[in-house]
Structure 1
Amino acid sequence: MNSDVLIESVSLRNSYTSRVDVLNKVKGLSLLPDNENVSMEMAGEYYEVPKQTINSLIFDNREELENDGLKVMSGNELIFFKELGVIGKNSSSFTVIPRRALLRIGMLLRDSLVARAVRDYLLDTEDSQPKQLSQSELIAYLAQKNVEHERAEAERKRADAERDRRLNDMEEKWEDTIEVMALNPGEDWRKETTAILNKIAQGRGGGEAYQGVRNESYELLTSRFGPRLEVRKQNMQGRMLREGATPSKVENLSKLDVIAADRRLINDYITVVKDMAIKYNVKLGGR
Protein backbone atom coordinates (compact mmCIF):
# COMPACT_ATOMS: atom_id res chain seq x y z
CA MET A 1 0.00 0.00 0.00
CA ASN A 2 1.36 3.43 -0.93
CA SER A 3 1.86 5.32 2.32
CA ASP A 4 0.42 8.50 0.76
CA VAL A 5 -3.06 6.97 1.20
CA LEU A 6 -2.81 8.24 4.78
CA ILE A 7 -2.81 11.80 3.45
CA GLU A 8 -6.13 11.18 1.70
CA SER A 9 -8.05 9.06 4.24
CA VAL A 10 -9.30 10.43 7.57
CA SER A 11 -10.54 7.01 8.70
CA LEU A 12 -7.17 5.42 7.96
CA ARG A 13 -5.37 8.15 9.91
CA ASN A 14 -7.74 7.62 12.83
CA SER A 15 -6.81 3.93 12.94
CA TYR A 16 -3.13 4.74 13.50
CA THR A 17 -3.20 7.59 16.05
CA SER A 18 -2.28 5.27 18.92
CA ARG A 19 1.03 4.36 17.26
CA VAL A 20 2.94 7.27 18.78
CA ASP A 21 5.87 4.87 19.38
CA VAL A 22 6.66 5.24 15.69
CA LEU A 23 7.83 8.82 16.22
CA ASN A 24 10.86 7.75 18.25
CA LYS A 25 11.53 4.77 16.00
CA VAL A 26 11.92 7.02 12.99
CA LYS A 27 13.77 9.88 14.68
CA GLY A 28 14.65 11.00 18.19
CA LEU A 29 11.86 13.17 19.60
CA SER A 30 12.37 16.06 22.02
CA LEU A 31 9.45 17.15 24.22
CA LEU A 32 8.55 20.24 26.21
CA PRO A 33 9.26 20.16 29.98
CA ASP A 34 5.81 18.68 30.60
CA ASN A 35 7.11 15.56 28.82
CA GLU A 36 3.83 15.35 26.89
CA ASN A 37 3.83 17.99 24.16
CA VAL A 38 5.90 19.79 21.56
CA SER A 39 5.61 23.33 20.27
CA MET A 40 5.07 24.28 16.63
CA GLU A 41 8.79 25.10 16.38
CA MET A 42 9.69 21.65 17.73
CA ALA A 43 7.23 20.00 15.34
CA GLY A 44 8.90 21.83 12.47
CA GLU A 45 12.34 20.72 13.66
CA TYR A 46 11.19 17.10 13.93
CA TYR A 47 9.73 17.01 10.42
CA GLU A 48 12.48 19.29 9.06
CA VAL A 49 10.08 21.90 7.68
CA PRO A 50 9.52 25.59 8.52
CA LYS A 51 7.27 26.51 11.42
CA GLN A 52 4.93 28.23 8.94
CA THR A 53 4.35 24.89 7.20
CA ILE A 54 3.22 23.39 10.51
CA ASN A 55 1.04 26.43 11.20
CA SER A 56 -0.65 26.15 7.79
CA LEU A 57 -1.26 22.43 8.22
CA ILE A 58 -2.84 23.03 11.63
CA PHE A 59 -5.08 25.73 10.14
CA ASP A 60 -6.28 23.34 7.41
CA ASN A 61 -6.82 20.34 9.71
CA ARG A 62 -7.64 21.93 13.06
CA GLU A 63 -10.63 19.73 13.91
CA GLU A 64 -8.68 16.49 13.49
CA LEU A 65 -5.69 17.77 15.43
CA GLU A 66 -7.79 19.19 18.26
CA ASN A 67 -9.44 15.78 18.59
CA ASP A 68 -5.92 14.45 19.15
CA GLY A 69 -5.30 16.97 21.90
CA LEU A 70 -3.78 19.95 20.13
CA LYS A 71 -4.63 23.01 22.20
CA VAL A 72 -4.05 26.75 22.15
CA MET A 73 -3.33 27.73 25.76
CA SER A 74 -4.13 31.18 27.11
CA GLY A 75 -4.53 32.99 30.41
CA ASN A 76 -3.54 31.01 33.51
CA GLU A 77 -2.71 27.94 31.41
CA LEU A 78 0.41 29.75 30.23
CA ILE A 79 1.94 30.21 33.70
CA PHE A 80 3.65 26.81 33.76
CA PHE A 81 5.41 27.40 30.48
CA LYS A 82 6.27 31.03 31.32
CA GLU A 83 7.87 30.00 34.62
CA LEU A 84 9.99 27.42 32.78
CA GLY A 85 11.08 30.03 30.25
CA VAL A 86 9.54 28.14 27.34
CA ILE A 87 7.66 31.25 26.28
CA GLY A 88 8.04 34.94 27.02
CA LYS A 89 6.38 36.59 30.00
CA ASN A 90 4.20 38.69 27.70
CA SER A 91 2.98 35.80 25.52
CA SER A 92 -0.82 35.72 25.29
CA SER A 93 -1.15 32.24 23.78
CA PHE A 94 0.86 29.08 23.14
CA THR A 95 0.01 26.07 20.97
CA VAL A 96 0.89 22.67 22.44
CA ILE A 97 0.94 19.55 20.29
CA PRO A 98 0.74 16.14 22.02
CA ARG A 99 2.35 13.10 20.44
CA ARG A 100 -0.91 11.86 18.93
CA ALA A 101 -1.38 15.17 17.11
CA LEU A 102 2.30 15.21 16.11
CA LEU A 103 1.87 11.75 14.62
CA ARG A 104 -1.20 12.92 12.69
CA ILE A 105 0.82 15.84 11.33
CA GLY A 106 3.22 13.26 9.93
CA MET A 107 0.30 11.46 8.30
CA LEU A 108 -0.81 14.73 6.67
CA LEU A 109 2.45 16.46 5.78
CA ARG A 110 3.38 16.01 2.11
CA ASP A 111 6.69 17.78 1.66
CA SER A 112 8.76 16.12 4.37
CA LEU A 113 10.96 13.06 4.03
CA VAL A 114 10.64 12.42 7.77
CA ALA A 115 6.82 12.52 7.51
CA ARG A 116 7.00 10.09 4.59
CA ALA A 117 9.19 7.79 6.71
CA VAL A 118 6.60 7.97 9.50
CA ARG A 119 3.83 6.99 7.08
CA ASP A 120 5.93 4.17 5.62
CA TYR A 121 6.72 2.93 9.11
CA LEU A 122 3.04 2.92 10.10
CA LEU A 123 2.11 0.83 7.08
CA ASP A 124 5.10 -1.52 7.36
CA THR A 125 3.22 -4.65 8.41
CA GLU A 126 6.40 -6.63 8.90
CA ASP A 127 7.80 -3.96 11.24
CA SER A 128 11.15 -4.33 9.54
CA GLN A 129 12.58 -1.39 11.52
CA PRO A 130 11.97 -2.42 15.18
CA LYS A 131 14.56 -0.13 16.76
CA GLN A 132 15.16 3.61 16.64
CA LEU A 133 17.13 4.46 13.53
CA SER A 134 20.58 5.94 13.87
CA GLN A 135 21.33 9.10 11.91
CA SER A 136 23.10 7.16 9.16
CA GLU A 137 20.31 4.56 9.05
CA LEU A 138 17.70 7.30 8.83
CA ILE A 139 19.57 8.95 5.93
CA ALA A 140 19.83 5.62 4.10
CA TYR A 141 16.20 4.77 4.82
CA LEU A 142 14.97 8.14 3.57
CA ALA A 143 17.21 7.92 0.50
CA GLN A 144 15.71 4.55 -0.37
CA LYS A 145 12.19 5.85 0.12
CA ASN A 146 13.03 8.89 -1.98
CA VAL A 147 14.14 6.64 -4.85
CA GLU A 148 10.91 4.64 -4.53
CA HIS A 149 8.92 7.86 -4.47
CA GLU A 150 10.69 9.19 -7.59
CA ARG A 151 10.02 5.92 -9.42
CA ALA A 152 6.37 6.03 -8.42
CA GLU A 153 6.18 9.69 -9.48
CA ALA A 154 7.78 8.88 -12.85
CA GLU A 155 5.26 6.08 -13.37
CA ARG A 156 2.42 8.42 -12.42
CA LYS A 157 3.64 11.02 -14.92
CA ARG A 158 3.93 8.34 -17.61
CA ALA A 159 0.38 7.17 -16.86
CA ASP A 160 -0.86 10.79 -16.89
CA ALA A 161 0.82 11.40 -20.25
CA GLU A 162 -0.76 8.26 -21.68
CA ARG A 163 -4.16 9.30 -20.32
CA ASP A 164 -3.75 12.78 -21.82
CA ARG A 165 -2.79 11.26 -25.18
CA ARG A 166 -5.89 9.08 -25.16
CA LEU A 167 -8.06 12.03 -24.17
CA ASN A 168 -6.60 14.08 -27.04
CA ASP A 169 -7.32 11.23 -29.44
CA MET A 170 -10.88 11.05 -28.15
CA GLU A 171 -11.30 14.81 -28.47
CA GLU A 172 -10.03 14.73 -32.06
CA LYS A 173 -12.42 11.90 -32.90
CA TRP A 174 -15.26 13.80 -31.25
CA GLU A 175 -14.39 16.94 -33.21
CA ASP A 176 -14.37 14.89 -36.41
CA THR A 177 -17.75 13.42 -35.47
CA ILE A 178 -19.19 16.88 -34.77
CA GLU A 179 -17.91 18.10 -38.15
CA VAL A 180 -19.42 15.11 -39.93
CA MET A 181 -22.74 15.48 -38.10
CA ALA A 182 -22.88 19.11 -39.22
CA LEU A 183 -23.48 18.00 -42.82
CA ASN A 184 -26.90 19.03 -44.05
CA PRO A 185 -28.88 19.04 -47.29
CA GLY A 186 -27.48 22.35 -48.45
CA GLU A 187 -26.12 23.31 -51.84
CA ASP A 188 -22.80 21.53 -51.21
CA TRP A 189 -24.15 18.19 -50.04
CA ARG A 190 -22.86 16.38 -53.15
CA LYS A 191 -19.39 17.88 -52.76
CA GLU A 192 -19.26 17.16 -49.03
CA THR A 193 -20.48 13.57 -49.24
CA THR A 194 -18.10 12.90 -52.12
CA ALA A 195 -15.19 14.30 -50.05
CA ILE A 196 -16.01 11.87 -47.23
CA LEU A 197 -16.29 8.88 -49.54
CA ASN A 198 -13.02 9.84 -51.23
CA LYS A 199 -11.30 9.96 -47.84
CA ILE A 200 -12.55 6.46 -47.09
CA ALA A 201 -11.32 5.26 -50.47
CA GLN A 202 -7.91 6.87 -49.94
CA GLY A 203 -7.61 4.94 -46.72
CA ARG A 204 -8.12 1.77 -48.76
CA GLY A 205 -5.40 2.63 -51.25
CA GLY A 206 -7.35 4.63 -53.85
CA GLY A 207 -7.70 3.29 -57.41
CA GLU A 208 -10.66 0.94 -57.73
CA ALA A 209 -11.55 1.63 -54.09
CA TYR A 210 -13.28 4.91 -55.10
CA GLN A 211 -16.02 3.17 -57.04
CA GLY A 212 -16.22 0.43 -54.43
CA VAL A 213 -16.84 2.92 -51.63
CA ARG A 214 -19.45 4.76 -53.74
CA ASN A 215 -21.26 1.49 -54.46
CA GLU A 216 -21.13 0.63 -50.75
CA SER A 217 -22.91 3.90 -49.96
CA TYR A 218 -25.65 3.10 -52.48
CA GLU A 219 -26.08 -0.42 -51.11
CA LEU A 220 -26.36 0.93 -47.56
CA LEU A 221 -28.94 3.46 -48.72
CA THR A 222 -31.03 0.71 -50.27
CA SER A 223 -30.71 -1.69 -47.33
CA ARG A 224 -31.62 0.99 -44.77
CA PHE A 225 -34.22 3.09 -46.57
CA GLY A 226 -35.46 0.87 -49.41
CA PRO A 227 -35.07 2.88 -52.65
CA ARG A 228 -34.19 0.80 -55.71
CA LEU A 229 -31.77 3.23 -57.29
CA GLU A 230 -31.22 1.28 -60.50
CA VAL A 231 -34.96 1.13 -61.21
CA ARG A 232 -35.33 4.83 -60.44
CA LYS A 233 -32.40 5.60 -62.71
CA GLN A 234 -33.96 3.72 -65.61
CA ASN A 235 -37.30 5.47 -65.06
CA MET A 236 -35.59 8.88 -65.04
CA GLN A 237 -33.68 8.06 -68.21
CA GLY A 238 -36.98 7.13 -69.91
CA ARG A 239 -38.57 10.43 -68.90
CA MET A 240 -35.52 12.35 -70.11
CA LEU A 241 -35.70 10.70 -73.53
CA ARG A 242 -39.40 11.47 -73.80
CA GLU A 243 -38.67 15.08 -72.85
CA GLY A 244 -36.07 15.38 -75.59
CA ALA A 245 -32.81 15.07 -73.65
CA THR A 246 -29.74 14.13 -75.68
CA PRO A 247 -28.64 10.48 -75.60
CA SER A 248 -25.28 11.44 -74.05
CA LYS A 249 -26.99 13.29 -71.22
CA VAL A 250 -29.29 10.35 -70.62
CA GLU A 251 -26.33 7.96 -70.68
CA ASN A 252 -24.38 10.04 -68.17
CA LEU A 253 -27.18 10.07 -65.60
CA SER A 254 -25.80 8.69 -62.29
CA LYS A 255 -27.37 7.24 -59.19
CA LEU A 256 -26.24 10.38 -57.39
CA ASP A 257 -28.37 12.38 -59.85
CA VAL A 258 -31.30 10.12 -58.96
CA ILE A 259 -30.76 10.88 -55.27
CA ALA A 260 -30.50 14.62 -56.00
CA ALA A 261 -33.97 14.58 -57.56
CA ASP A 262 -35.64 13.52 -54.30
CA ARG A 263 -35.35 15.66 -51.15
CA ARG A 264 -36.07 12.73 -48.86
CA LEU A 265 -33.43 10.60 -50.60
CA ILE A 266 -30.86 13.39 -50.12
CA ASN A 267 -31.50 13.36 -46.36
CA ASP A 268 -31.33 9.56 -46.24
CA TYR A 269 -28.11 9.50 -48.28
CA ILE A 270 -26.44 12.12 -46.06
CA THR A 271 -27.35 9.98 -43.04
CA VAL A 272 -25.70 6.94 -44.64
CA VAL A 273 -22.52 8.85 -45.51
CA LYS A 274 -22.31 10.32 -42.00
CA ASP A 275 -22.49 6.82 -40.54
CA MET A 276 -19.75 5.65 -42.90
CA ALA A 277 -17.54 8.59 -41.91
CA ILE A 278 -17.88 7.76 -38.23
CA LYS A 279 -17.44 4.03 -38.80
CA TYR A 280 -14.23 4.52 -40.80
CA ASN A 281 -12.90 7.38 -38.62
CA VAL A 282 -12.72 9.94 -41.40
CA LYS A 283 -10.79 13.08 -40.49
CA LEU A 284 -12.03 16.22 -42.19
CA GLY A 285 -10.56 19.68 -42.48
CA GLY A 286 -7.13 18.46 -43.61
CA ARG A 287 -6.36 16.70 -40.29
Structure 2
Amino acid sequence: MNPRIVNYKNQRVLTTEQIAEAYNTDVKNIQMNFANNKDKFVEGKHFILLTGDDLRLFKNQPNTVGLVGKNASSLYLWTKRGASRHCKLLDTDEAWKQFDNLEETYFVARPQIDESQLSPELQMANSILRTLQNHELEQNRLNAKVDGIKEVVGLNSSNWRQDTQKLISKIALKDGGADAFKDVRTAIYKEVDRRGGFDLERRLINKRQRLAYEGASKTAQDKLTKVDVIADDKRVIEVYLAVVKDFAIKYGVEV
Protein backbone atom coordinates (compact mmCIF):
# COMPACT_ATOMS: atom_id res chain seq x y z
CA MET A 1 0.00 0.00 0.00
CA ASN A 2 1.44 3.36 -1.06
CA PRO A 3 -0.55 6.17 0.61
CA ARG A 4 -0.91 9.56 -0.95
CA ILE A 5 1.90 11.78 0.31
CA VAL A 6 0.73 14.29 2.90
CA ASN A 7 2.99 16.96 4.36
CA TYR A 8 2.25 19.41 7.13
CA LYS A 9 4.78 22.13 7.92
CA ASN A 10 7.61 20.22 6.22
CA GLN A 11 6.77 17.01 8.10
CA ARG A 12 5.48 13.82 6.48
CA VAL A 13 2.23 12.73 8.16
CA LEU A 14 -0.69 10.31 7.72
CA THR A 15 -4.41 10.73 8.32
CA THR A 16 -6.32 8.26 10.49
CA GLU A 17 -7.91 6.78 7.37
CA GLN A 18 -4.50 6.26 5.76
CA ILE A 19 -3.14 4.49 8.85
CA ALA A 20 -6.20 2.25 9.01
CA GLU A 21 -5.86 1.35 5.34
CA ALA A 22 -2.12 0.74 5.64
CA TYR A 23 -2.51 -1.54 8.67
CA ASN A 24 -5.50 -3.37 7.17
CA THR A 25 -7.90 -2.39 9.93
CA ASP A 26 -10.82 0.01 10.23
CA VAL A 27 -10.87 3.65 11.31
CA LYS A 28 -12.94 2.93 14.43
CA ASN A 29 -10.28 0.52 15.65
CA ILE A 30 -7.58 3.18 15.29
CA GLN A 31 -9.78 5.75 17.02
CA MET A 32 -10.63 3.39 19.89
CA ASN A 33 -6.99 2.46 20.43
CA PHE A 34 -6.14 6.15 20.63
CA ALA A 35 -9.04 6.93 22.98
CA ASN A 36 -8.05 4.06 25.29
CA ASN A 37 -4.35 4.94 25.28
CA LYS A 38 -4.26 8.74 25.14
CA ASP A 39 -1.62 8.81 27.86
CA LYS A 40 0.77 7.09 25.43
CA PHE A 41 0.41 9.81 22.78
CA VAL A 42 1.92 13.29 22.96
CA GLU A 43 0.58 16.11 20.78
CA GLY A 44 3.30 17.49 18.54
CA LYS A 45 5.32 14.30 18.87
CA HIS A 46 2.91 11.55 17.89
CA PHE A 47 0.11 13.57 16.34
CA ILE A 48 -0.99 17.03 15.20
CA LEU A 49 -4.57 18.13 15.82
CA LEU A 50 -5.94 20.60 13.27
CA THR A 51 -8.99 22.76 13.98
CA GLY A 52 -10.34 26.17 12.93
CA ASP A 53 -8.23 28.19 10.49
CA ASP A 54 -5.41 25.62 10.46
CA LEU A 55 -7.85 22.95 9.31
CA ARG A 56 -9.42 25.22 6.67
CA LEU A 57 -5.99 26.07 5.22
CA PHE A 58 -5.06 22.38 5.19
CA LYS A 59 -8.31 21.48 3.39
CA ASN A 60 -7.58 24.08 0.69
CA GLN A 61 -4.21 22.62 -0.29
CA PRO A 62 -4.29 20.99 -3.75
CA ASN A 63 -2.73 17.73 -2.48
CA THR A 64 -5.29 17.23 0.32
CA VAL A 65 -8.45 17.22 -1.80
CA GLY A 66 -10.61 14.29 -0.71
CA LEU A 67 -8.58 13.54 2.41
CA VAL A 68 -10.75 15.57 4.76
CA GLY A 69 -14.51 15.45 5.12
CA LYS A 70 -16.21 18.66 4.03
CA ASN A 71 -17.91 19.11 7.39
CA ALA A 72 -15.05 17.85 9.55
CA SER A 73 -14.41 20.17 12.51
CA SER A 74 -11.07 18.57 13.46
CA LEU A 75 -8.41 16.35 11.96
CA TYR A 76 -5.68 14.18 13.46
CA LEU A 77 -2.43 13.92 11.52
CA TRP A 78 -0.06 11.16 12.68
CA THR A 79 3.71 11.50 12.58
CA LYS A 80 6.13 8.63 12.06
CA ARG A 81 6.24 8.09 15.83
CA GLY A 82 2.45 8.17 15.98
CA ALA A 83 2.22 5.58 13.20
CA SER A 84 4.71 3.43 15.12
CA ARG A 85 2.67 3.73 18.32
CA HIS A 86 -0.50 2.62 16.51
CA CYS A 87 1.40 -0.31 15.04
CA LYS A 88 2.45 -1.41 18.54
CA LEU A 89 -1.13 -1.15 19.80
CA LEU A 90 -2.45 -3.29 16.94
CA ASP A 91 0.50 -5.70 17.17
CA THR A 92 -0.42 -7.71 14.07
CA ASP A 93 1.97 -9.16 11.49
CA GLU A 94 0.30 -7.07 8.77
CA ALA A 95 0.69 -3.86 10.77
CA TRP A 96 4.38 -4.49 11.46
CA LYS A 97 4.99 -5.36 7.82
CA GLN A 98 3.30 -2.20 6.60
CA PHE A 99 5.05 0.00 9.16
CA ASP A 100 8.41 -1.29 7.95
CA ASN A 101 7.31 -0.36 4.44
CA LEU A 102 6.20 3.11 5.55
CA GLU A 103 9.45 3.64 7.44
CA GLU A 104 11.56 2.67 4.44
CA THR A 105 9.59 4.60 1.82
CA TYR A 106 6.93 7.03 3.02
CA PHE A 107 8.75 8.58 5.98
CA VAL A 108 12.16 8.77 4.28
CA ALA A 109 13.30 12.40 4.27
CA ARG A 110 14.20 13.72 0.85
CA PRO A 111 17.52 15.58 0.57
CA GLN A 112 17.12 19.33 0.35
CA ILE A 113 18.33 20.99 -2.81
CA ASP A 114 20.76 23.84 -2.45
CA GLU A 115 19.33 26.24 -5.01
CA SER A 116 22.50 28.33 -4.98
CA GLN A 117 24.20 25.44 -6.79
CA LEU A 118 21.65 25.43 -9.59
CA SER A 119 22.01 27.27 -12.84
CA PRO A 120 20.30 30.69 -13.12
CA GLU A 121 17.75 29.14 -15.47
CA LEU A 122 16.78 26.39 -12.98
CA GLN A 123 16.65 28.88 -10.12
CA MET A 124 14.25 31.02 -12.12
CA ALA A 125 12.14 27.96 -13.01
CA ASN A 126 11.93 26.99 -9.33
CA SER A 127 10.93 30.53 -8.42
CA ILE A 128 8.17 30.57 -11.04
CA LEU A 129 6.93 27.15 -9.87
CA ARG A 130 6.73 28.31 -6.25
CA THR A 131 4.85 31.44 -7.34
CA LEU A 132 2.34 29.36 -9.30
CA GLN A 133 1.87 26.96 -6.37
CA ASN A 134 1.28 29.83 -3.95
CA HIS A 135 -1.18 31.40 -6.38
CA GLU A 136 -3.05 28.08 -6.69
CA LEU A 137 -3.24 27.73 -2.90
CA GLU A 138 -4.61 31.24 -2.51
CA GLN A 139 -7.10 30.72 -5.35
CA ASN A 140 -8.33 27.49 -3.78
CA ARG A 141 -8.74 29.26 -0.46
CA LEU A 142 -10.79 32.05 -2.07
CA ASN A 143 -12.87 29.57 -4.08
CA ALA A 144 -13.66 27.59 -0.94
CA LYS A 145 -14.74 30.76 0.82
CA VAL A 146 -16.95 31.82 -2.11
CA ASP A 147 -18.52 28.36 -2.32
CA GLY A 148 -19.28 28.49 1.38
CA ILE A 149 -20.95 31.88 1.01
CA LYS A 150 -23.01 30.62 -1.94
CA GLU A 151 -24.23 27.71 0.16
CA VAL A 152 -25.25 30.00 2.99
CA VAL A 153 -26.97 32.50 0.74
CA GLY A 154 -28.87 29.66 -0.90
CA LEU A 155 -31.26 29.26 2.04
CA ASN A 156 -34.62 27.91 0.96
CA SER A 157 -37.10 30.67 1.81
CA SER A 158 -39.97 28.19 2.13
CA ASN A 159 -38.13 26.45 4.96
CA TRP A 160 -36.63 29.58 6.45
CA ARG A 161 -37.58 28.73 10.03
CA GLN A 162 -35.78 25.37 10.00
CA ASP A 163 -32.84 26.67 7.96
CA THR A 164 -32.17 29.64 10.21
CA GLN A 165 -32.58 27.53 13.35
CA LYS A 166 -29.89 25.13 12.12
CA LEU A 167 -27.56 27.98 11.17
CA ILE A 168 -27.96 29.72 14.52
CA SER A 169 -27.17 26.45 16.29
CA LYS A 170 -23.99 26.04 14.22
CA ILE A 171 -22.98 29.64 14.88
CA ALA A 172 -23.51 29.11 18.61
CA LEU A 173 -21.32 26.00 18.57
CA LYS A 174 -18.51 28.01 17.00
CA ASP A 175 -19.05 30.93 19.35
CA GLY A 176 -18.87 28.96 22.57
CA GLY A 177 -21.03 25.88 22.45
CA ALA A 178 -24.68 25.18 23.10
CA ASP A 179 -24.79 27.69 25.96
CA ALA A 180 -24.12 30.50 23.47
CA PHE A 181 -27.32 29.84 21.48
CA LYS A 182 -29.40 32.39 23.44
CA ASP A 183 -26.72 35.09 23.11
CA VAL A 184 -26.35 34.55 19.37
CA ARG A 185 -30.10 34.63 18.84
CA THR A 186 -30.39 37.83 20.92
CA ALA A 187 -27.61 39.46 18.90
CA ILE A 188 -29.37 38.52 15.66
CA TYR A 189 -32.70 39.97 16.83
CA LYS A 190 -30.94 43.16 17.89
CA GLU A 191 -29.34 43.49 14.46
CA VAL A 192 -32.71 42.87 12.77
CA ASP A 193 -34.20 45.71 14.81
CA ARG A 194 -31.31 48.00 13.90
CA ARG A 195 -31.38 47.30 10.17
CA GLY A 196 -35.12 47.39 9.71
CA GLY A 197 -36.05 49.97 12.32
CA PHE A 198 -38.26 47.37 13.97
CA ASP A 199 -39.04 46.65 17.60
CA LEU A 200 -39.49 42.89 17.78
CA GLU A 201 -40.01 42.95 21.54
CA ARG A 202 -42.90 45.43 21.25
CA ARG A 203 -44.42 43.43 18.38
CA LEU A 204 -44.21 40.28 20.50
CA ILE A 205 -45.98 41.98 23.41
CA ASN A 206 -48.70 43.27 21.08
CA LYS A 207 -49.19 39.84 19.52
CA ARG A 208 -49.55 38.22 22.94
CA GLN A 209 -52.06 40.88 23.96
CA ARG A 210 -54.13 40.20 20.83
CA LEU A 211 -54.14 36.48 21.62
CA ALA A 212 -55.25 37.24 25.17
CA TYR A 213 -58.06 39.45 23.86
CA GLU A 214 -59.13 36.60 21.55
CA GLY A 215 -59.32 34.25 24.53
CA ALA A 216 -56.13 32.25 23.98
CA SER A 217 -54.67 30.45 26.99
CA LYS A 218 -51.68 31.77 28.91
CA THR A 219 -49.70 28.78 27.68
CA ALA A 220 -50.44 29.67 24.05
CA GLN A 221 -49.39 33.25 24.69
CA ASP A 222 -46.13 32.21 26.36
CA LYS A 223 -45.27 29.90 23.48
CA LEU A 224 -45.07 32.82 21.08
CA THR A 225 -41.53 33.84 20.11
CA LYS A 226 -39.95 36.59 18.09
CA VAL A 227 -39.73 34.18 15.17
CA ASP A 228 -43.55 34.07 15.19
CA VAL A 229 -43.55 37.86 15.04
CA ILE A 230 -41.05 37.81 12.18
CA ALA A 231 -43.28 35.38 10.29
CA ASP A 232 -46.11 37.95 10.27
CA ASP A 233 -44.25 40.42 8.05
CA LYS A 234 -42.58 39.54 4.75
CA ARG A 235 -40.19 42.48 5.01
CA VAL A 236 -39.09 41.43 8.49
CA ILE A 237 -38.50 37.89 7.20
CA GLU A 238 -36.24 39.25 4.46
CA VAL A 239 -34.21 41.33 6.92
CA TYR A 240 -34.00 38.41 9.35
CA LEU A 241 -32.73 36.05 6.63
CA ALA A 242 -30.12 38.59 5.55
CA VAL A 243 -28.88 39.02 9.11
CA VAL A 244 -28.64 35.27 9.76
CA LYS A 245 -26.73 34.81 6.50
CA ASP A 246 -24.31 37.59 7.45
CA PHE A 247 -23.72 36.02 10.86
CA ALA A 248 -23.14 32.62 9.23
CA ILE A 249 -20.58 34.08 6.82
CA LYS A 250 -18.89 36.00 9.64
CA TYR A 251 -18.43 32.82 11.69
CA GLY A 252 -17.49 30.67 8.71
CA VAL A 253 -20.47 28.39 9.11
CA GLU A 254 -21.26 25.95 6.29
CA VAL A 255 -24.72 24.68 5.49
TM-score, length basis structure 2: 0.51
Match of 1:159 in 2: 131
Q: Shift of residue 150 of structure 1?
A: 3.1
Match of 1:207 in 2: 178
Distance 2:166 2:128 in 1: 42
Distance 2:121 2:253 in 1: 43
Query: RMSD of the TM alignment (CA)?
Result: 2.2
Local SS of the residue matching 1:276: helix
- Structure 2 counterparts to residues 222-261 of structure 1, below 5 A: 222-261=193-232
- Structure 2 counterparts to residues 1-287 of structure 1, below 5 A: 146-186=118-158, 188-284=159-255
Amino acid at match of 1:155: S
TM-score, length basis structure 1: 0.45
Q: Shift of residue 146 of structure 1?
A: 4.4
Distance 2:156 2:178 in 1: 28
CA deviation vs aligned residue, 1:264-283 (integer Å, no higher than 9, x gap): 21111111112222223222
Amino acid at match of 1:282: V
Distance 1:255 1:268 in 2: 13
Given that 2:151 and 2:254 are in contact with CA atoms closer than 8 Å, whether structure 1 keeps it comes out as no
Amino acid at match of 2:170: K
Distance 1:185 1:159 in 2: 43
CA deviation vs aligned residue, 1:248-279 (integer Å, no higher than 9, x gap): 12112111111112222111111111222222
Amino acid at match of 2:229: V
CA deviation vs aligned residue, 1:127-163 (integer Å, no higher than 9, x gap): xxxxxxxxxxxxxxxxx88444334333332322221
Given that 2:168 and 2:185 are in contact with CA atoms closer than 8 Å, whether structure 1 keeps it comes out as yes
**Aligned positions, number:** 141
Given that 1:185 and 1:267 are in contact with CA atoms closer than 8 Å, whether structure 2 keeps it comes out as no
Q: Shift of residue 200 of structure 1?
A: 1.6
Local SS of the residue matching 2:245: helix
Amino acid at match of 2:128: R
Q: Shift of residue 179 of structure 1?
A: 1.8
Given that 1:183 and 1:192 are in contact with CA atoms closer than 8 Å, whether structure 2 keeps it comes out as yes
Distance 2:216 2:121 in 1: 81
CA deviation vs aligned residue, 1:42-77 (integer Å, no higher than 9, x gap): xxxxxxxxxxxxxxxxxxxxxxxxxxxxxxxxxxxx
Given that 2:193 and 2:200 are in contact with CA atoms closer than 8 Å, whether structure 1 keeps it comes out as yes
> How much identity, in percent, do the aligned residues show?
34
CA deviation vs aligned residue, 1:209-238 (integer Å, no higher than 9, x gap): 111111111000001101111111111111
Q: Unpaired segments of 5 or more residues in structure 1?
A: 1-143
Larger radius of gyration: 1
Amino acid at match of 2:136: D
Local SS of the residue matching 1:183: coil
Match of 1:105 in 2: none
Distance 1:158 1:245 in 2: 70
Q: Unpaired segments of 5 or more residues in structure 2?
A: 1-115
